[in-house]
Amino acid sequence: MSSTALVWFRRDLRLADNPALQAAVKEHDHVVPVFIHAPDEEAPWQPGAASQWWLHHSLNALAADLEQHGAPLVIRRGDSLTALLELVGETGAAAVYWNRLYEPAVMGRDERVSAGLTKQGIHCEDFNAYLLLDPGTVMNKTGNPYKVFTPFWKAAQQLLQIRPPAPAPTLQALKPAPASLSVDELNLLPAINWYDGLATHWTPGEAAGAANLTDFINDAASAYKDDRNRPDLAGTSRLSPYLHFGEVSPHQVAWAAQQHLAEQPAASNGTNVFLSEVGWREFAHHLLVHFPHTVDKPLRPDFAGFPWRQVDDNDTDYQAWCKGETGIPLVDAGMHELWHTGWMHNRVRMVVASFLTKNQFIGWQAGTRWFWDTLVDANLASNTLGWQWTAGCGADAAPFFRIFNPVTQGEKFDPHERYVRQWCPELNGVPPGQAHAPWLKNASSKQPIVDLKESREFALLAFKHARE
């Protein structure tokens, strides 16, 4: 007697190296791939506008890939448990398989779904496809989670077994297939077309993610240690949105890096640093699982009462930051790049975050909100870790209050001024060598909205009082 299984896709939008899909194909005669659009179940962190643009195109790519491999994607909308139970009734499925996600609201939803399906006699099985190691497996000697990256990654590497990724399986579809919504019916694209810049810079989908990984490993991994800090160079992998939506798996990334190391041992410095960045992604998710309150509260309790300004979206200073109108070229260039491409270079992310929280003295939560809505790689764990790390209230071994000077950062990491001139065309008339601080040589140039020196001293004084 033939059996049928549902495979519930979420942020694992790929066919290769997908353990839930592999298990379903192995154990059952027919597989029904399912995607359920239920953003309310991720509240209060429903996907932002840029993420929804990516999801729209990623689902189209997944649906096309599934058609070629023998099974159409079934799309439904609404409560996940209700939708799955309806599909069980329509298909006679005996099991539901999915890959785990590691966010507080989603983990709670998955527990509810698993309990509801099990109550109806449906076999449920979930897998880790999103991380190299499950949260809870990397603990310190006292059995507690790490709060500092370096010892975490050292311990994780002792446990890590990098394996070759599995190929996409051949699927046996159930006929007739259940009724499905189209991707367009999910209304993921904004009503106002502001996203042409995203389409110019990105191609969502598994095939594009795999090509991106191959190109980076072959062309840029060896020099990654130095070039990753240069926003004027193509020195980073730009894999973050593909990893976030599961179009590329972390094991695929780690395996490609390991093979590169075996073939080119001289490239070990750059490639190992790249692998440690994959480790930061792991660290972020492990922290979020152990400390779910950190999505809006500091990890470090001594920062609970820190006097950052809390602003709403209409605050003039906050809007100047969001729009890239601060008068600081590197900050404004980063914010313009973000708005036009849905992405920002990591070095510049730290600079703009430091400027908001230290020079403007605005709470980091306002920054997370803007990044959440505008980044195509908006990931709750990484967004939380990155903002708290830069703000100084999160996972960090540094015994000081880190403040990035956007002028010196620009001069060091954008030495030829290519990045700021690309994203701030108003600098075209500024003489060479002055683009990172044009107001210093020309009084008629736009003045920054804050004095860098005075605002730095104010932030350091606030930090000193907070520690006393």
pLDDT tens digit sequence for 237-255: 999 999 999 999 999 999 9
360-368 mean pLDDT? 98
When pLDDT is cut at 50, 70 and 90, the band that residue 446 belongs to is confident
340-361 mean pLDDT? 98
pLDDT at 465 (0 to 100): 85
When pLDDT is cut at 50, 70 and 90, the band that residue 264 belongs to is confident
When pLDDT is cut at 50, 70 and 90, the band that residue 400 belongs to is confident
Cα–Cα distance for residue pair 298/286, rounded to 1 Å: 16
CB atoms within 10 A of CB 399: 6
Cα–Cα distance for residue pair 345/341, rounded to 1 Å: 11
pLDDT at 210 (0 to 100): 98
Peptide bond into 231 cis (omega under 30): no
- The set of long-range contacts for 456-462, using a CB threshold of 8 Å and a minimum separation of 24, is 456/358, 456/359, 456/403, 456/405, 458/361, 459/358, 459/359, 459/361, 459/401, 459/403, 460/401, 460/403, 462/306, 462/307, 462/361
Cα–Cα distance for residue pair 199/201, rounded to 1 Å: 6
142-149 mean pLDDT? 96
Percent of the chain with pLDDT over 70: 99
Separation of CA 379 from chain center: 4
Q: What is the pLDDT of residues 73-131, one digit of tens each?
A: 999 999 999 999 999 999 999 999 999 999 999 999 999 999 999 999 999 999 999 99
Which has more confidence, 421 or 467?
A: 421
- Min mean pLDDT across 7-16, 131-140, 185-194 is at 185-194
Query: What average pLDDT does the structure give for the chain?
Result: 95
216-241 mean pLDDT? 96
CB atoms within 10 A of CB 338: 24
The fold of 301-467 is DNA Cyclobutane Dipyrimidine Photolyase, subunit A; domain 3 (1.10.579)
SS3 of 309-372 = ECCCCCCHHHHHHHCCCCCCHHHHHHHHHHHHHCCCCHHHHHHHHHHHHHHCCECHHHHHHHHH
How many residues are present in the chain? 468
Which DSSP category does 436 fall into? T
Structure tokens at 291: 């400390």
Percent of the chain with pLDDT over 90: 91
Cα–Cα distance for residue pair 226/128, rounded to 1 Å: 32
Cα–Cα distance for residue pair 40/160, rounded to 1 Å: 35
17-32 mean pLDDT? 97
321-337 mean pLDDT? 98
Q: Hey, is 168 helix, strand or coil?
A: coil
Cα–Cα distance for residue pair 60/423, rounded to 1 Å: 31
- Min mean pLDDT across 71-80, 170-179, 369-378 is at 170-179
6-11 mean pLDDT? 98
Residue 329: is its pLDDT beyond 80? yes
Pick from 181, 165, 168, 166: nearest CA to 72: 181
Q: What does the buried/exposed string (b/e) look like for 87-114 if buried means 16 or more CB atoms within 10 Å of the residue's CB?
A: bbeebebebbbbbbbbbbbbbebbeebb
pLDDT at 453 (0 to 100): 97
Q: What does the buried/exposed string (b/e) look like for 245-272 if buried means 16 or more CB atoms within 10 Å of the residue's CB?
A: bbbbbbbbbbbbbeebbeeeeebeebbe
Helix-strand-coil split of the chain, %, nearest 5: 55, 5, 40
When pLDDT is cut at 50, 70 and 90, the band that residue 397 belongs to is low
**Identity of residue 151:** P
Q: What is the pLDDT of residues 111-125, one digit of tens each?
A: 999 999 999 999 999
First-residue to last-residue Cα distance in the chain: 72
Q: Are 384 and 281 in contact (CB under 8 A)?
A: no
- Min mean pLDDT across 38-52, 349-363, 394-408 is at 394-408
Cα–Cα distance for residue pair 225/273, rounded to 1 Å: 6
Residue 141: is its pLDDT beyond 80? yes
- Min mean pLDDT across 148-152, 171-175, 398-402 is at 398-402
Beta strand pairing call for 123-127 and 30-37: unpaired
pLDDT at 269 (0 to 100): 86
Cα–Cα distance for residue pair 249/376, rounded to 1 Å: 17
Cα–Cα distance for residue pair 285/8, rounded to 1 Å: 21
268-275 mean pLDDT? 91
Instruction: Supply the CATH classification number for the domain 131-164+206-290.
Output: 1.25.40.80
Which has more confidence, 71 or 443?
A: 71
Cα–Cα distance for residue pair 98/114, rounded to 1 Å: 10
pLDDT at 1 (0 to 100): 62
Q: Would you kindly state where each structural domain of the chain is located, as residue ranges?
A: 4-130, 131-164+206-290, 301-467
Greatest Cα-to-Cα distance within the chain, rounded to the nearest angstrom: 83
Q: Which CATH number fits domain 4-130: 3.40.50.620, 3.40.630.30, 3.90.1150.10, 3.30.450.20?
A: 3.40.50.620
Cα–Cα distance for residue pair 276/157, rounded to 1 Å: 10
**Which strands make up the sheet holding 95-99, listed edge to edge?**
74-77, 30-37, 4-9, 95-99, 123-127
265-269 mean pLDDT? 79
Structure tokens at 310: 């809390």
Residue 260: is its pLDDT beyond 70? yes
